[in-house]
Amino acid sequence: MADLSRVKRTVLLLVTISLLLTSCKDRLDLENVTLVLMEGIDIDKDNNLLIYMSSPVFSKEAKKKNEETVVKAMSPRDARGYFEAKVSALVSTGKLQNLLVSKKLMQHPYWYKLLDVLFRDAKVRANARIIMVDGDVKDVMFFEPENKRRLPLHIAKLLDTAHERNLVEVTTLFTMQRLLYEKGVTPYLTELRREPKEIRLLGTAMLDNNGKYVTSLSLVENELLQILQDEKYQDLTLTVILPEKEKPDTIFHMGTMSFYIKKVNRKIKSSYKDGKFQFDFDLGLPIQITERLFDYNVQDEPQKLEKMINEQLTEEFKKLVSKLQKNKVDPIGLGLYARAFQYHNWKKVQNNWPEAFAEAKITVHVHTKIKDYGEIK
């Protein structure tokens, strides 16, 4: 009898506790939510702001996998009401994957102020990727590729894979906010274009401190940039054309050689002389040969081949640095080194770092070491 009474008391206690628990009052069923996976911002020929939204359709009766909507508005937050007047469920940006912004819009300074609602709203996914579109945003938003997953997920995976292969930089909402307000580095983000039958990544767009688009880096230039940044992820592949002893009668570049860079050993020395900052890069690059179209006794004269590779890479780095300085953009983040090691001089230019970067003396010394010749010697 005592055991039965104890059981009753236990059940009563559990029921009381369950009644005191907080319930999910803000729960929404999936069919009652419009999940925004991709958002776009563009301007028309009259400079009217266009806001695009792409969300998945879960209905079995629907023929399309995604629902695309576009409205004219004063700002992205202003567009929310117009969206909810056109879609059949409440709009939610908690699963946002990509934010597309047109190059036309990015050619206007301070366009990033339009992102304030995304930075401010705690429910927005901070890891959403910001992407510059070379062309009209609508061409990407309304694109329906064959044999691909949903377009927002396809673009997100495309960017992440290319970033792992060191081909593009990926900038999220969180990273963008840091880059915009960090004085020692200038912002950058992925650039893509809509082709007739596919989405193609072009490289990385360079922005100035006001967020205005300045120039672009190709896929190869981005690989070199990531070496200078020391942010290489997986094995990085480079191809160079070495001087040929004799040019055969062919249309092919027989001096072509490709190799993996297994690791980046980067050292930077910073100094200040004659009113200019000076940065000296020393790059140690162990490499694995993956392709060689010319005849060469690699094992007998590896130092000679390494020297030729060093010269070609040094020239490529020189061109990249010259391009960055000409356009007054510092995606490498050398301003961070100036602040850390030359703080007294940094204070004089901290509000005008791009100009100081453009006048700095930057040298790159490359030292490759062949670690693997491949199966064919």
Residue in 233, 235, 54 with CA at minimum distance from that of residue 160: 233
How many CB atoms within 10 Å of residue 323? 14
| Within-domain flag for 130 | yes
Can you give the CATH number for the domain in which 240 is found? Answer: 3.30.300.210
Q: Are 131 and 90 in contact (CB under 8 A)?
A: no
Distance (Å, whole) CA 184 – CA 84 = 41
Q: Are residues 351 and 260 in the same domain?
A: yes
Q: Are residues 257 and 118 in the same domain?
A: no
Residue-wise pLDDT tens for the chain (377 aa)? 556 566 667 767 776 766 555 555 555 555 556 678 899 999 999 999 999 998 887 766 667 777 788 999 998 888 888 777 776 656 667 788 999 999 999 999 899 999 998 888 887 888 899 999 999 999 999 998 877 888 999 999 999 999 988 999 999 999 999 999 899 999 999 999 999 989 999 999 999 999 999 999 999 999 999 999 988 777 788 888 887 655 667 777 777 888 889 889 999 999 999 999 999 999 999 998 888 777 766 666 788 888 989 999 999 999 999 999 999 999 999 999 999 999 999 999 999 999 999 999 999 999 999 888 776 66
Task: Tally the domains of the chain.
Answer: 2
| Within-domain flag for 322 | yes
Q: Are residues 160 and 268 in the same domain?
A: no
| Within-domain flag for 245 | yes
Q: Are residues 112 and 258 in the same domain?
A: no
Q: Are residues 136 and 193 in the same domain?
A: yes
Provide the b/e sequence for 37-59 (b: ≥16 CB within 10 Å).
bbbbbbbeeeeebbbbbbbbeee
185, 217, 249 - which closes a domain: 217
Q: Are residues 197 and 245 in the same domain?
A: no
| Within-domain flag for 19 | no
User: Whole-model pTM?
Assistant: 0.86
List the beta strands (DSSP E) in the chain: 33-35, 38-43, 49-56, 66-72, 90-92, 98-102, 129-133, 171-172, 188-194, 199-207, 213-217, 236-241, 256-261, 265-273, 276-292, 361-372
Q: Are residues 368 and 233 in the same domain?
A: yes
Say which amino acid occupies 184.
G
The region, left, alpha or beta by phi > 0 then psi within -120 to 50, assigned to residue 111 is: alpha
Q: Are residues 263 and 132 in the same domain?
A: no
Rg for the chain, CA atoms, rounded = 27
Q: Are residues 106 and 162 in the same domain?
A: yes
Q: Are 119 and 93 in contact (CB under 8 A)?
A: no
pLDDT at 206: 97
- As given in the structure block, the two tokens for residue 259 are 């190799």
Residue in 351, 368, 349, 373 with CA at minimum distance from that of residue 360: 349
Q: Are residues 134 and 281 in the same domain?
A: no
Give me the residue label for tokens 């429910």: 123
The boundaries of the domain holding residue 81 are: 30-217
Q: Are residues 238 and 163 in the same domain?
A: no
Q: Are residues 114 and 256 in the same domain?
A: no
CA contacts within 13 A on the Cβ side of 367: 7
162, 186, 217 - which closes a domain: 217
| Within-domain flag for 21 | no
